[in-house]
Structure 1
C-alpha cells in the first residue's frame, strides 16, 4: 500500500497535539497504519511541538501560546526538508476479514460481521456516534455508483479501506485519505470492478444541493 493522498498539515498538527475528537483520531490512526509519509510528519510535529513548548513555556497567555505554537509548527513542517525514516507501522494483520484496529471500538473486528443498512441502490452504510458526539460512517458503495453531490458543514476525514473512487480532487484508492473542509463540494464515483468501502468521520452534517438527498438526509442522519 502506497497512499497518494495524505493528511493536511493542520490535521497532523492537531493530531500530534491531541486536539482531534476521538472519531477523527480513529480515522487518522487508521490512515497512519498504512502511510509512512504521514507517520513521519506526525513524528516531526511531535518533536517540533515539544521543542517549541519548552522554548515558550510561561512566556505568553495560554490562548495566544496555543495559536502561536500551532502556526509555528505548521511553518516548521512546511519548511522541513526531506523526511527521514518513518516510524514503524503496526504489523498488519494477515487476515483479510479483519478491520483496522483503530476502528474496533466502533465497528468491531470483522468485515463479515458488519451489519449494513440500505441507503440506496448498491449503497449501504453503518452510522455510529462516538464519545464526543461526532459521527463515524462506514460506507459500502457498489462499483460504478455515483454518490449525491454534497459539501460539508464542518470537517470530514474519509479513509479508503477497499476499492476506489474518483471525484474533482482526483483518484482515491485503498490507503488514501480525503481530508476535506467546508469549502469542498464533490461527487465521488466508484470505480468499476469492486465495491468501495471507506470510513468517514464528520464533525458536522453534510450539505446536499439536490432536493432528493436533502429530503432523505433526516432518515439517514448524515
Structure 2
C-alpha cells in the first residue's frame, strides 16, 4: 500500500540539511522506508542544499590547494546520486529496502525504530495510560514514543505546542485531515487541532515524535497530561 500522507517540504529540507531534531528525524526515516515518493523528494532537497552550499561557500585562496580539494570532494559527494542513496540508507538502516518490500513481515519493526523499540512490534512492552490506550517511550529520547490504541477509541481534542510527526505502523485512524493508514505520516504544527479516532478492526499502532507537549482542550485531559507526559 502506497502512503497517501507525506512529509512536509520544510521537514524534508531540514532533514536534508541535518537540522531536524533527532526524534523527528527517526520518525521521518521510518516513513522514508515505506515511501518512494518522499525518498525522491529528499534527494531533490539534498540537491538543492548542495547547490545553495556551493553558492554561499566563500572562495578558497589559491595558496591553500588542500582545502580547495577537500571542498571540491565534499560538493561532489553531496551532488552524487549514488552517495545520496548511500547516505539515505545509512540514515534509515541498510535493511530498509527489505523491510519495506511488498510481502514483508507485518510484525517487523521499521529499521529506523529498531535501536529504540526492538526488532518486532509483538515484543514491545506496553504501559497502560487509559482505557484501551497503551504507550512506550524510548529511554534514549523521551519525546520519541509509540502508541497502541484499541479500535474505535477517540483521543482527546488537542493542538500542538510545536511540531509533531506521527507514522502509522498498523491499523488506522481518522481525523479532520483524513484517514491515516499504515505508511502514512501526519506532519503537524501549532496550527493543527484534531481529534484522532481509531478505525474498527485492529488496534492502531503508531510512532510519534514531539518537540513540545500537546495542548489539550478539555480540563480532564489537561489534568491527566502530567501523568501520561504527552
Relative to the length of structure 1, the TM-score reads 0.82
For residue 124 of structure 1, the aligned residue among 134, 139, 151 is 134
1:90 is matched with 97
Q: Which string of whole-angstrom CA distances, capped at 9 and with x for unpartnered residues, describes residues 139-179 of structure 1?
A: 01111110111111010000000111110111111000000
- Tell me the secondary structure at the aligned position of residue 90 of structure 1: helix
Supply the RMSD in Å over aligned alpha carbons.
1.7
Counterparts of 2:193 and 2:106, CA distance in 1: 33
2:158 is matched with 150
Q: Which string of whole-angstrom CA distances, capped at 9 and with x for unpartnered residues, describes residues 82-126 of structure 1?
A: xxxxx9962227333221111112111121211101111111111
The alpha carbon displacement at 1:21 in A equals 1.5
**Is 2:184 the counterpart of 1:176?**
yes
Aligned pair count reads: 193
Counterparts of 1:111 and 1:12, CA distance in 2: 27
Counterparts of 2:163 and 2:175, CA distance in 1: 17
- Tell me the secondary structure at the aligned position of residue 173 of structure 2: strand
Answer yes or no: is the 8 Å Cα contact 1:129–1:135 preserved in 2.
no
Bigger-Rg structure (1/2): 2
Which aligned runs of 4 or more in structure 1 are off by greater than 4 angstroms?
Answer: none
Higher helix share: 2
Counterparts of 1:162 and 1:55, CA distance in 2: 44
**Is 2:29 the counterpart of 1:29?**
yes
2:50 is matched with 50
Answer yes or no: is the 8 Å Cα contact 1:165–1:191 preserved in 2.
yes
Structure 2 unaligned residues grouped into runs of 5+: 60-87, 90-95
